[in-house]
């Protein structure tokens, strides 16, 4: 339903004929996506369909477009939501960038805390919004029929500027279709298909049709009525707001209900991007085109990083584009239609392959199983029409909106694709280097030399010694000394407690710590035998309180960073707890 | 010499009588610091003198004052330097905050790269500055005698505002004395005494007197001449600039030489704080009042952190106070005079103790050796006069400048002292908990259980296995699986390469990574025998290139953070290099 509101925010006044074209596009897309859903019961977003049917580079183009659009979804939806708020409270106009950034951060915090089963929490506002739309439209039509519906009183003052740009019409077309398919509407169902009850494909298909019908009806209704009341696109007041206050004659409780439900639905649309972004990243990471850590998307730490990155980029966009939906929309268009085109083309290609299969045989692809389909001809045509239509829209947007920001997208998508391919190439080369083909059995290490680092003679260093004892019998204790008196005391105490282990004192006249130690280790490393491994054992004081941990250096971490490039040198931290 | 320039920047027009008072103060301080230098040949800053003679809390108060003043030195000196620049190029006035922050960051970068023996590099600009001062003064006096020295043409327009504040005079007094003693002048020589050739004390003492004489002469000269030409304190143009352009009749090459040498000398003054801050921190850290890592001040990593902290706070101050020397000065005053007072009081107390010692006996203190001094009476009086004078100045500043920012210092110093004492208390309690008194010999660990984490079967995991073999014979390989097909492949390959080691597959249906692993380890941990230690071995891919390292998760680090609080569980990372 989000698209409706998006459209409202994107401003669509007297464009009823265009709206009919959009609804037609919506219908075609619905049909073609129906076919995708049935072919890919495991979930078939543009990325998966392109990957399985068109190959590596088209798939990465689709991936880049979608990832970018998730970021833009956050920026656009939140900006639209804020546009609703400032329509109701014009005094807030100067703060809209701040409000938008605040909302994005709020959504981030909610997502960082983890929202499981957030789908249910979303149902209520969605229904409330739907009810409000139909109440508004119903009352509006009633008034229209009885002749009591006037035009917008005191319309926004900046509408003329908007009308001077005929391209805005195209922009709306795009806003609609993109909203429809990429994120919360058609495309979201495709990607999230496994969330449906069995039989998943069928239920998802039914949902899709229902959504399209509700969407089409509301869209036509709002569009027609907006034209009737002469609502005009504006940066200051959304069309939804103009419509609502005309239908309800004032800014009363029903007006506020309409506006607030629209706002909530828009902010929730941003929230879906927070779920979709890691989901797609995980698929791309599993395929090796994104850092592999992202494949474990449940892993709290990584997930957080992704969400924070998404938030940061979205906030940057909002600030840069001044939370203006009109200015953000052009960026949003191309990616969405590009991924549509790829998805539809992939499906068309799939039907063609399916038609040329021997009946009875099947080919197992990564995302689905390909079997002969007797109606492949018809299905191929449906998807081809979809592909051509969306391709035409993509090209139109790339050309007409080039200077309005679309060039950014046209630059970024290839860059992202190159990065994805480089990541993939890295993983392939590492896998090759690590491969066990032509790998002879290696000798077991003969010697294990242990260096125990001590800061003094206390329970912590004895815990380290006990651990070192388990590793090897060849242990050397090492102390870096900045104070000769202290060193003498340690040597004396070590005689009692050192269990016969040799102690080496490294003098540090310049009061450095790591440098003498590294010199010692590197010296050992250089003259070690073949097949000798060195382990540096570092006793580490650990406190449950954060601030006291700051008071104890993490020597092992610093050492490890420096020694990471030496093979067969291992740094081990032995924690000891005091409190 | 810096103080001179500081004074110039701090604006001192017609305050000749006050200047004479300042010179008198300078003389007293020089005498009393002479005594400190001879008593503390190893370096006797306010912190050490207070610590050895007055006790813990006065010493920490001195430490807090000095650390704060180092930060303020950076802010004030750089702001003064920028004041010189904008005097010469008034068009730059709107950018002064930016220029100041840029300069601080530049000094930071130079210090992070490490300047050894920077003393020599500083000599040239210092002499150049001195020459310029005496050339300017000489020409000025010549003109004065021949009657051709006029008054300032086109004086700065904001002087009236300044003159309306009689307290500015005090401010200058403070700027002088603080510049003199705390940082680059007297106090710096005291702290850095070991940098002098033997006999250190004597050479340092001679230097101190020379500095005081040169300083006093220049100060008197500039002050007198500024009054003669009617230079006026201003935020827009420094007194030095007014003086120079009056003496040279224009803004020619000699004017620019004077201004640029002053700027360089001021920026260098900021640089000395970058050296002094870590030096004092190291002493306090050795005493246990600051994180112990700081004691190893040569250690690159820690040193960098200190420098970056210093830079950040100084930049904040510059931005907050708009790079205005006049507004920064009140903060600077109290700390400096407070540390003077403590130092002088400490010395007075020391002479008293010295006078009551039996001749021939000696007491070894931490910073020096106390012997009977036959002239203790005279010396005690000198230091007492110094203490009283500086105490009076401290109190005057605390009261008169309270609302101008001094309250910040009066709040921060006690807070810092409390933090220092808390840090000390923590170290004492840890040392007690770790003490080996009443510590019986502990049994050696009986069992050592090793868990080897594998992401697949490749050379990296075999390197991990080889290492694990060295640690124990009780090894279990563990793989966290998000893909059953992949898990089956790994199990099959492990049969060939796993060397008979048991492999456990942990299924992760929610695509998490750490969670199933932690559950497994915690389960083992809970049912382990007494005296069993667990080591988790994590093979870690390492690349020489930074960006490819990002593509490989640092599992060991995340595990270690979580497991740090469990005793006898050690996480070991075995690096393997591919390129």
The Cα A193–Cα A190 span in angstroms is 5
A vs B, Cβ pairs < 8 A, gives: 191
Chain B residues within an 8 Å CB radius of A467: 445, 533, 570
* Tokens matching residue A341: 């085109």
Least Cα distance to A36 among A360, A358, A392, A339 occurs for: A339
User: A424 at the B interface (CB within 8 A)?
Assistant: no
User: B418 at the A interface (CB within 8 A)?
Assistant: no
Which residues of chain A from 299 to 338 reach within 8 Å of chain B, CB to CB? 299-302
Q: What is the DSSP letter of B537?
A: E
Chain A closest CA to B498's CA: distance in Å?
Answer: 11
Chain mean pLDDT for chain B = 77
Q: Residue A267: pLDDT above 50? A: yes
The Cα B491–Cα B496 span in angstroms is 9
Strand partners, A539: A574
Least Cα distance to A316 among A78, A66, A11 occurs for: A78
Q: Residue A468: pLDDT above 50? A: yes
Chain A residues within an 8 Å CB radius of B555: none
User: B292 at the A interface (CB within 8 A)?
Assistant: yes
Average of per-residue pLDDT across B17-37: 70
pLDDT digits (tens, 9 = 90+) for A1-43: 334 334 443 444 444 555 666 667 667 777 777 777 777 766 6
Q: Residue A325: pLDDT above 80? A: no
Angle between the N-to-C axes of helices B56-88 and B2-10, in degrees from 0 to 180, rounded to the nearest 10: 70
Return the exposure string of A560-576: e unless at least 16 CB atoms fall within 10 Å of the residue's CB, then b: beebbeeebbbbbbbbb
User: A506 at the B interface (CB within 8 A)?
Assistant: no
User: A423 at the B interface (CB within 8 A)?
Assistant: yes
Cβ distance A433 to B295 less than 8 Å, yes or no, reads no
Confidence label for B491 from pLDDT (cuts 50, 70 and 90): very high
Phi-psi region of B178 (alpha: psi -120 to 50; beta: other; left: phi over 0): alpha
Chain A closest CA to B373's CA: distance in Å?
Answer: 29
pLDDT, position B57? 92
Residue B575's H or E segment, with its range, is strand B569-577
Q: Residue A171: pLDDT above 50? A: no
pLDDT digits (tens, 9 = 90+) for A272-288: 788 778 888 888 888 89
Which residues of chain B from 549 to 568 reach within 8 Å of chain A, CB to CB? 550-553, 558, 560, 563-567
Residue carrying structure tokens 């879906």 = A272
Which residues of chain B from 264 to 283 reach within 8 Å of chain A, CB to CB? 282
Cβ distance B431 to A458 less than 8 Å, yes or no, reads yes
Least Cα distance to A139 among A151, A149, A125, A129 occurs for: A149
- The better pLDDT of the pair A57, B309 is held by A57
Strand partners, A452: A477, A537
Cβ distance B292 to A426 less than 8 Å, yes or no, reads no
Q: Residue A514: pLDDT above 90? A: no
Return the exposure string of A328-342: e unless at least 16 CB atoms fall within 10 Å of the residue's CB, then b: bbbbbbbbbbbbbbb
Cβ distance A560 to B553 less than 8 Å, yes or no, reads no
Cβ distance B579 to A293 less than 8 Å, yes or no, reads no
Can you list the domains of chain B with their CATH numbers? 2-427 (1.20.1740.10), 448-577 (3.40.50.620)
pLDDT, position A289? 93
Range with lowest mean pLDDT among A184-188, A468-472, B118-122, B220-224 = A184-188
User: B548 at the A interface (CB within 8 A)?
Assistant: yes
User: A458 at the B interface (CB within 8 A)?
Assistant: yes
Name the pairing type of β-strands A362-364 and A369-371.
antiparallel
Chain A residues within an 8 Å CB radius of B423: 551
* Nearest-Cα residue of chain B relative to residue A438: B459
pLDDT, position A489? 92
Average of per-residue pLDDT across B38-43: 71
pLDDT, position B576? 84
- The better pLDDT of the pair B25, B65 is held by B65
Contacts of B375 (CB under 8 A, 6+ apart): none
* Tokens matching residue A107: 């959504």
Chain A residues within an 8 Å CB radius of B493: 436
Q: Residue B385: pLDDT above 70? A: yes
- The better pLDDT of the pair A527, A468 is held by A468
Contact, B370 vs B346, CB < 8 A? Answer: no
Residue carrying structure tokens 């940061």 = A312
Task: Pick the most confident of A189-203, B35-49, B339-353.
Answer: B339-353
pLDDT, position A169? 37
Angle between the N-to-C axes of helices A16-39 and A167-178, in degrees from 0 to 180, rounded to the nearest 10: 30
* Tokens matching residue A455: 């800061």
Chain B closest CA to A127's CA: distance in Å?
Answer: 30
Average of per-residue pLDDT across B474-494: 90
The Cα A555–Cα A346 span in angstroms is 54
pLDDT, position B567? 77
Chain A closest CA to B362's CA: distance in Å?
Answer: 20
Cβ distance A482 to B296 less than 8 Å, yes or no, reads yes
Contacts of A76 (CB under 8 A, 6+ apart): A6, A325, A328, A329, A332
Q: What is the DSSP letter of A444?
A: P
Contact, B64 vs B416, CB < 8 A? Answer: yes
Question: For B564, which of A435, A542, A566 is closest by C-beta distance?
Answer: A542
User: B446 at the A interface (CB within 8 A)?
Assistant: no
The Cα B332–Cα B69 span in angstroms is 6
Average of per-residue pLDDT across A479-495: 89
The Cα B304–Cα B239 span in angstroms is 36
* Nearest-Cα residue of chain A relative to residue B447: A470
pLDDT, position B561? 82
Question: For B533, which of A467, A570, A577 is closest by C-beta distance?
Answer: A467
User: B291 at the A interface (CB within 8 A)?
Assistant: yes
Confidence label for A200 from pLDDT (cuts 50, 70 and 90): low
Cβ distance B297 to A578 less than 8 Å, yes or no, reads no
Question: For B573, which of A511, A560, A579 is closest by C-beta distance?
Answer: A560
Q: Residue B359: pLDDT above 90? A: no
Cβ distance B469 to A577 less than 8 Å, yes or no, reads no
Q: How many CB atoms lie within 10 A of CB A145?
A: 9
Chain A residues within an 8 Å CB radius of B445: 466-467, 469-470
pLDDT digits (tens, 9 = 90+) for B148-187: 777 777 666 654 333 323 333 333 333 333 333 333 334 4
pLDDT digits (tens, 9 = 90+) for B100-147: 999 998 888 877 766 554 555 666 777 787 788 888 888 888 888 887
pLDDT, position B58? 92
Contact, A450 vs A537, CB < 8 A? Answer: yes
User: B486 at the A interface (CB within 8 A)?
Assistant: no
Chain B closest CA to A306's CA: distance in Å?
Answer: 14
Q: Residue B477: pLDDT above 90? A: yes
Cβ distance A512 to B579 less than 8 Å, yes or no, reads no
Return the exposure string of B275-299: e unless at least 16 CB atoms fall within 10 Å of the residue's CB, then b: bbbbebbbbbbbbbbbbbbbbbbbb
Q: How many CB atoms lie within 10 A of CB B95?
A: 15
* Nearest-Cα residue of chain A relative to residue B534: A467
pLDDT, position A337? 79
* Tokens matching residue A272: 């879906």
Chain B closest CA to A360's CA: distance in Å?
Answer: 25
The Cα B194–Cα A401 span in angstroms is 70
pLDDT, position A452? 94
pLDDT digits (tens, 9 = 90+) for A350-402: 888 888 888 877 777 776 778 887 888 888 888 898 888 888 878 877 887 77
User: B579 at the A interface (CB within 8 A)?
Assistant: yes
User: A577 at the B interface (CB within 8 A)?
Assistant: yes
The Cα A396–Cα A422 span in angstroms is 31
* Nearest-Cα residue of chain A relative to residue B288: A551
Confidence label for B64 from pLDDT (cuts 50, 70 and 90): very high
Contact, A7 vs A219, CB < 8 A? Answer: yes
Cβ distance A434 to B459 less than 8 Å, yes or no, reads yes
Cβ distance A298 to B439 less than 8 Å, yes or no, reads no
Integer CA distances (angstroms), B573 to A34, A288, A435, B53, in order: 50, 24, 21, 50
pLDDT digits (tens, 9 = 90+) for A121-145: 666 777 787 788 888 888 888 888 8
Q: How far apart are the first and last CA of chain A?
A: 56
User: B107 at the A interface (CB within 8 A)?
Assistant: no
Q: What is the largest CA-CA distance in chain B?
A: 103
* Tokens matching residue A562: 């420096």
Cβ distance A436 to B467 less than 8 Å, yes or no, reads no
Question: For B565, which of A544, A550, A571 is closest by C-beta distance?
Answer: A544
Chain mean pLDDT for chain A = 77
Q: How many CB atoms lie within 10 A of CB B89?
A: 13
Q: ipTM strictly over 0.85?
A: no
Cβ distance B459 to A436 less than 8 Å, yes or no, reads yes
pLDDT, position A177? 38
Contact, B467 vs B461, CB < 8 A? Answer: no
């Amino acid at each position: 339903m989000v698209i409706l509101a998006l459209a409202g925010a994107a401003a669509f006044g007297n464009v009823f004929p265009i709206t009919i074209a959009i609804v037609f596009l919506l219908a075609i897309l619905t049909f073609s996506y129906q076919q995708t859903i049935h072919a890919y019961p495991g979930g078939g977003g543009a990325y998966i369909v392109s990957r399985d049917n068109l190959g590596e580079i088209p798939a990465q183009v689709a991936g880049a477009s979608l990832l970018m659009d998730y970021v833009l979804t956050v920026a656009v939806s939140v900006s639209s939501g804020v546009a609703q708020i400032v329509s109701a409270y014009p005094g807030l106009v100067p703060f809209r960038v701040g409000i938008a950034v605040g909302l994005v951060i709020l959504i981030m915090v909610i997502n960082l805390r983890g929202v499981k089963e957030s789908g249910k929490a979303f149902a209520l506002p969605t229904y409330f919004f739907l009810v409000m739309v139909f109440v508004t439209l119903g009352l509006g039509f009633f008034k229209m029929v009885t002749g009591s519906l006037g035009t917008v009183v005191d319309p926004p003052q900046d509408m003329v500027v908007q009308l001077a740009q005929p391209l805005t019409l195209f922009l709306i077309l795009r806003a609609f279709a993109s909203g429809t398919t990429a994120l919360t509407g058609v495309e979201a169902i495709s990607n999230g298909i496994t969330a449906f009850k069995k039989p998943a494909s069928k239920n998802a298909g039914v949902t899709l049709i229902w959504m399209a019908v509700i969407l089409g009806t509301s869209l036509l209704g709002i569009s027609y009525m907006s034209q009737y009341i002469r609502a005009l696109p504006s940066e200051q007041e959304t069309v939804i707001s103009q419509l609502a206050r005309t239908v309800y004659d004032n800014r009363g409780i029903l007006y506020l209900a309409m506006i607030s439900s629209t706002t909530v639905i828009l902010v929730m649309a941003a929230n879906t991007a927070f779920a979709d972004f890691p989901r797609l990243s995980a698929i791309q990471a599993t395929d090796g085109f994104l850092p592999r850590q992202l494949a474990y998307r449940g892993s709290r730490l990584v997930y957080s990083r992704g969400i924070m990155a998404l938030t940061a980029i979205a906030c940057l966009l909002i600030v840069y584009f001044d939370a203006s939906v009109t200015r953000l929309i052009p960026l949003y268009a191309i990616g969405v239609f590009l991924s549509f085109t790829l998805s539809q083309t992939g499906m068309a290609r799939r039907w063609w392959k399916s038609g040329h299969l021997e009946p009875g045989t099947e080919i197992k692809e990564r995302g689905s199983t390909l079997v002969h389909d007797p109606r492949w001809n018809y299905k191929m045509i449906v998807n081809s029409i979809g592909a051509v239509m969306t391709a035409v829209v993509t090209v139109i947007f790339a050309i007409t909106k080039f200077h309005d920001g679309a060039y950014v997208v046209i630059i970024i998508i290839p860059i992202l694709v190159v990065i994805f391919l480089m990541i993939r190439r890295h993983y392939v080369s590492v896998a090759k280097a690590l491969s066990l083909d032509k790998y002879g059995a290696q000798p077991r290490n003969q010697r294990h030399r242990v260096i125990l680092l001590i800061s003094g003679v206390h329970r912590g260093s004895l815990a380290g010694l006990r651990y070192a004892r388990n590793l090897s019998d060849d242990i050397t204790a090492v102390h870096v000394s900045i104070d000769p008196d202290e060193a003498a005391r340690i040597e004396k105490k070590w005689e009692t407690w050192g269990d016969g282990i040799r102690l080496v004192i490294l003098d540090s006249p310049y009061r450095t710590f790591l440098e003498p130690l590294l010199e010692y280790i590197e010296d050992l490393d250089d003259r070690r035998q073949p097949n000798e491994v060195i382990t540096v054992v570092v006793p580490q004081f650990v406190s449950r309180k954060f601030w006291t941990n700051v008071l104890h250096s993490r020597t092992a971490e610093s050492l490890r960073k420096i020694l990471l490039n030496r093979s067969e040198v291992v740094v081990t931290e032995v924690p000891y707890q005091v409190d």
